[in-house]
Amino acid sequence: MSTRAAVLYVCVAQVRPASRVPEERAVEEGRAFADGRGLRLVETITDPYGEPDPQRREGWRRVCEMAARGQITDVITRWPAALAPESHHEFRLREAETLAEHGVTIRYSWEPLAALKAAP
């Protein structure tokens, strides 16, 4: 069993579309990413997309609490915009640095970014 514990973090549309395909795809992709890298997925946390500052999102604050308590080693999310939009990229950097202080790495599950770690 892996000693690396991961949280899957997914941002979803504030107004739920008729189709949940984007959310389901992000969850499936994140689970496959974890399995393929020997990460033990301990929880899936979702937040509504739209608030640019991750610290103002309940789910992201939970991720940070888990990191601070040493419960996780990795956060898996689909792409950097799930943390903060490009127009607020400084929030991504701040969050990556904070998690790194706790020994936690951000990993992206979307195939073109899957080989990268915490690229703000």
pLDDT for the residue numbered 15: 60
Neighbouring CB atoms inside 10 A of 52's CB total 16
Alpha-carbon gap, residue 101 to 81, rounded angstroms = 21
**Pure H helices in the chain:** 21-36, 58-68, 89-101
pLDDT for the residue numbered 25: 87
Low-confidence ranges of the chain (pLDDT < 70): 1-2, 14-19, 116-120
**Which pLDDT tens digit goes with each residue over 73-102?**
999 999 898 999 999 999 999 999 999 999
Alpha-carbon gap, residue 20 to 8, rounded angstroms = 17
pLDDT for the residue numbered 77: 95
Q: Dmax over Cα atoms in the chain, in whole Å?
A: 40
